[in-house]
Amino acid sequence: MSNATHPSELKILFVCMGNICRSPTAEGVLKKKLADLALADKVYIDSAGTHNDHPHARPDSRTQRHALKRGYDLSHMRARAVEDRDFEAFDLLITMDWDNRALLEERCPPKHAHKIRGLTEFLQISHASAIPDPYYGGDQGFEHVLDLVEEACDGLIKSLIMKAPQ
């Protein structure tokens, strides 16, 4: 559930369609990477879906299995849908693909439109235009998502550190 009163300096919401594969992966990866840098208390991170197909469900078991192999425990997460208050509460709403970005932009009050970004904007080496949905694919799809999300989260952290006041 979104928390507009969380004391963190920055609030990031990752968004995909159902909030059971890509966005919880991004949430878990960024949380761990920030914790490893002793920056976890500076950023509040959550995830949500543009569709409410899996309310309160845990991340997909394949998502959890592949993430755990890389040290990301997603078992405590529960799916939720994007809420209107998220546009006000979060500083960045980061989408996984163009379809979900379009759905967010359609709902977003104009004064918050600048907060919507795509995760692939933060890729440093790869040239993907979207984080692909691994739901109907095999194990390689989940590994590919993790590869892209890890790289993009590194780029996001780099971007945030460069913008932080000294």
- 21 is known as an active-site residue: no
Look at residues 127, 158, 147, 117 and name the one whose alpha carbon lies nearest to residue 15: 117
Q: Among the options 46, 86, 97, 133, which is catalytic?
A: 133
Alpha carbon 140 to chain centroid distance?
A: 20
Q: Among the options 16, 21, 108, 153, which is catalytic?
A: 16
Q: Among the options 21, 22, 101, 108, which is catalytic?
A: 22
- 70 is known as an active-site residue: no
Alpha carbon 68 to chain centroid distance?
A: 17
- 16 is known as an active-site residue: yes
19: left (phi over 0), alpha (psi -120 to 50) or beta: left
Q: What is the 3-state secondary structure (H, E, C) of 4-61?
A: CCCCCCEEEEEEECCCCCHHHHHHHHHHHHHHHCCCHHHEEEEEEECCCCCCCCCCCH
Catalytic annotation, residues: 16, 22, 133
